[in-house]
């Protein structure tokens, strides 16, 4: 029996979690800045900036307002800190003197200013700003809350004229005529200069050491509305001339100049396996544009694709150059964990840190690293790593973890029906007693090209706290097991991926005698919602199911999702008019008549990735047949409800899920 001196986790505990992100070394390496995000009393989140000394380990809070402060970046001399904050009502750039004093607002752009970075000499700041075609970056004025409300009211009375294919985004809603442009702020004369102007989004990547070139990624093609490519470009700051480094056939980003400015490193790929293509690591010669791929012999995903529901901030994935320009450092995703890796310019790979957990970010200074690490029983802390030791620097959730019992997962490896090896984990319930039996819930991740692993996952821990055995696996289609594995579910949704999941259930039932064989539940979101629908349409072995932000009908998904017009072909092999019969075969709605499992449907009303009509079709069909089904709609919530939605909505969602399983699996 497990130790019950600590209490069980509750849905409401979500408001107690501190989430750390974005560690950034100070230029002299004596300290680092980071962001701490937590739910506040206004049903939103507050993000504050902290700076921690590496000498006395003192972490000082530098912002205190009830706002979202993020993206801290030190000036090269360490005397200033630029950051992004919505304290004035719109995300703007603010400047702090590191020796003390109040923050000063630098920008007052109508639609905000984002993601600042200092030039290498500290004379200017480069940032991104959403601008309309005729906007003047030198004459921007932030609206008051009344002005913003008046403009929104006026827009709500006007029709929206749409003439492009890509006209909506789950993150941004219906798109208007604004595009992300790159702006340079001159610190000396207090002036702004717009550097880009094409009617497309420009993603700032880096500035050359001499300050003469801006590196950015964008699709500048005339047919960009029909393409998902993103090229790397060099912009001459003086002449505004643009040189394109890549060939227009791929998607490139995370790009950075070497310390001497002669080379550029980046992640990228050319869609060899569509959305299931592993990233490669490229190095370009900045002058000639010639490139080499360092990762030809590697077979794992570069970057962090660990899936979770707690991370509330961006962090560094790499590639980051060593000081001498001879090595690159980056995160990599492998076998349910993420680690820190090093590669030389010949492609020799070295694993610097992988302790079977989740490295979610890092910062580097003279061979010393700050690592952000999460484990299944820790939402995340920062650690200092040198060649000789790993030293914990923060204790973000000490009081919470002191009082709440979390479950440590048991790793599983089993054989699918075609002899493929499948990886997964099992969480035992709170107060586990090996002499008792417990119901089991199978969790299916989204993506499908994501990865469950050794990170903190609130929903999984909550189900264990409520008395359930929780099974979560990486069926084929998941990242972390090589290119062949991640590609294996495409054009086979509901095939071997479904078989992998059923093999997982069979395996744990045969090897763990504390599970009720007739009290099984299943749930998942997005692709996991699709798979939940598919499972209960093809077997009646589950006694209860919860489908979240699901797909039920690929025929309609093609035209209503913000990604449907390309994702459908990527994943199923055909677009709507190419083979509607095939799309219908892949649609769980076709098999609704077979569904006898009590089903709870959970969906956000502003979800544009898997629009709520997918759940509406399923609910009406099942209800019309008088099946046991319930529909919970969350207003003002998009596809990210479970991860970054309003705290009260997230808590309500969790309580509905556990309620449904309690009603049907406790009998």
* Residue 215 CA neighbour count, 13 Å, CB half: 29
The total domain count for the chain is 1
Give me 412's structure tokens. 């599983």
In a domain? residue 365 = no
pLDDT at 227: 86
The candidate with the shortest Cα–Cα distance to 203, out of 220, 183, 184, 182, is: 182
What CATH number is associated with residue 642? 3.40.50.1820
Q: Which of 478, 639, 642, 664 is catalytic?
A: 639
- Beta-bridge partner residues of 95: 82, 104
Q: Which of the residues in the chain have pLDDT under 70?
A: 1-3, 667
What's the pLDDT tens digit per position in 349-376? 999 999 999 999 999 999 999 999 999 9
Under DSSP, is residue 561 helix (H, G, I), strand (E, B) or coil? coil
pLDDT at 272: 96
> What's the 3-state SS for 359-372?
EEEEEEECCEEEEE
* Under 8 Å between Cβ of 252 and 232: yes
In a domain? residue 352 = no
In a domain? residue 431 = yes
Is 526 considered catalytic here?
A: yes
DSSP 476: T
Residue 475 CB contacts under 8 Å (≥ 6 apart), including other chains:
422, 444, 489, 496, 497, 500, 501, 504
In a domain? residue 379 = no
Cα–Cα distance measured from residue 667 to residue 661, given in angstroms and rounded to the nearest whole number: 10
DSSP 352: E
pLDDT at 403: 97
In a domain? residue 424 = yes
In a domain? residue 60 = no
Q: Which of 363, 526, 587, 642 is catalytic?
A: 526
Cα–Cα distance measured from residue 529 to residue 447, given in angstroms and rounded to the nearest whole number: 10
Cα–Cα distance measured from residue 312 to residue 532, given in angstroms and rounded to the nearest whole number: 26
Residue-number span of the structural domain to which 410 is assigned: 401-552+587-665
DSSP 387: S
Cα–Cα distance measured from residue 406 to residue 2, given in angstroms and rounded to the nearest whole number: 11
Percent of the chain with pLDDT over 70: 99
In a domain? residue 571 = no
Q: What is the rounded radius of gyration, in angstroms, for the C-alpha atoms of the chain?
A: 25
Quote the strand ranges of 537-607, DSSP E: 544-548, 599-604
pLDDT at 177: 84
In a domain? residue 180 = no
* Under 8 Å between Cβ of 517 and 438: no
Is 639 considered catalytic here?
A: yes
DSSP 149-186: HHHHHHHHTSPPP--SS--EETTTEE--S-EEEEEEEE
Query: Per the omega criterion (within 30 degrees of 0), is the bond before 553 cis?
Result: no
pLDDT at 1: 52
């Amino acid at each position: 029996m497990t130790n019950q001196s600590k209490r069980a986790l509750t849905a409401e505990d979500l408001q107690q979690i501190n989430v750390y992100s974005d560690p950034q070394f100070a230029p002299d390496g004596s300290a680092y800045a980071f962001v701490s995000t937590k739910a506040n009393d206004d049903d939103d989140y507050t993000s504050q900036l902290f700076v921690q000394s590496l000498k006395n380990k003192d972490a000082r809070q530098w912002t205190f307002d009830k706002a979202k402060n993020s993206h801290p970046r030190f000036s090269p001399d360490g005397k200033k800190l630029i950051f992004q904050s919505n304290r004035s009502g719109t995300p703007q750039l603010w400047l702090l003197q590191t020796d003390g004093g109040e923050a000063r607002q630098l920008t007052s752009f109508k639609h905000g200013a984002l993601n600042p970075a200092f030039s290498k000499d500290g004379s200017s700041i480069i940032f991104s700003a959403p601008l309309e075609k005729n906007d003047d970056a030198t004459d921007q004025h932030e609206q008051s809350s009344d002005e913003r409300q008046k403009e929104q009211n006026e827009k709500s009375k006007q029709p929206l004229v749409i003439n492009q294919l890509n006209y909506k985004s789950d993150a941004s809603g219906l798109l208007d005529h604004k595009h992300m442009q790159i702006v340079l702020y001159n610190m000396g004369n207090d002036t702004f200069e717009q550097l880009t102007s094409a009617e497309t989004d420009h993603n700032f990547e880096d500035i050359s050491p001499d300050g003469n070139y801006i590196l950015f990624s964008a699709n500048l093609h005339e047919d960009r509305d029909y393409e998902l490519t993103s090229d790397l470009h060099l912009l001459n700051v003086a002449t505004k001339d643009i040189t394109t480094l890549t060939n227009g056939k791929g998607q490139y980003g995370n790009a950075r100049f070497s310390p001497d400015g002669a080379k550029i490193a980046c992640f990228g790929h050319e869609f060899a396996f569509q959305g299931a293509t592993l990233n490669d690591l490229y190095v370009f010669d900045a002058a000639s544009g010639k490139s080499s791929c360092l990762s030809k012999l590697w077979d794992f995903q570069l970057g962090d694709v660990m899936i979770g529901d707690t991370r509330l901030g961006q962090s560094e994935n790499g590639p980051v150059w060593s000081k001498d320009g001879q090595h690159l450092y980056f995160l990599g995703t492998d076998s349910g964990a993420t680690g820190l890796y090093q590669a030389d310019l010949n492609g020799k790979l070295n694993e610097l840190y992988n302790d079977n957990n989740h490295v979610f970010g890092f910062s580097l200074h003279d061979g010393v690293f700050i690592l952000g690490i999460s484990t299944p029983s820790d939402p995340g802390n920062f650690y200092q790593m040198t060649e000789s030791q790993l030293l914990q620097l923060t204790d973000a959730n000490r009081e919470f973890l002191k009082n709440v019992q979390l479950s440590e997962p048991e790793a599983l490896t089993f054989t699918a029906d075609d002899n493929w090896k499948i990886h997964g984990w099992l969480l035992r319930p709170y107060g586990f007693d090996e002499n008792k039996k417990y119901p089991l819930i199978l969790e299916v991740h989204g993506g499908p090209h994501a990865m469950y692993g050794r990170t903190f996952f609130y929903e999984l821990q909550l189900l264990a706290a409520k008395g359930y055995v929780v099974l979560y696996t990486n069926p084929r289609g998941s990242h972390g097991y090589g290119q062949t594995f991640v590609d294996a579910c495409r054009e086979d949704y509901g095939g071997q991926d479904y078989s992998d999941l059923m093999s997982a259930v069979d395996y744990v039932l045969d090897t763990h005698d504390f599970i009720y064989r007739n009290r099984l539940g299943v749930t998942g979101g997005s692709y996991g919602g699709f798979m939940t629908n598919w499972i209960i349409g093809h077997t009646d072995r589950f006694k209860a199911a919860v489908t979240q932000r699901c797909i039920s009908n690929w025929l309609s998904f093609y035209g209503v999702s913000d990604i449907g017009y390309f994702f459908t072909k990527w994943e199923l092999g055909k677009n709507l008019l190419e083979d509607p019969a095939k799309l219908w075969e892949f649609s769980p709605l076709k098999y609704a008549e077979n569904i006898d499992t009590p089903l709870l449907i959970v969906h956000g009303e502003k979800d544009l990735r898997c629009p709520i009509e997918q759940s509406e079709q399923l609910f009406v069909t099942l209800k019309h047949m008088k099946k046991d089904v319930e529909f919970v709609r969350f207003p003002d919530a998009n596809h990210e409800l479970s991860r970054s939605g309003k705290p009260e909505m997230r808590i309500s969602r969790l309580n509905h899920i556990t309620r449904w399983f309690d009603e049907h699996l406790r009998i």
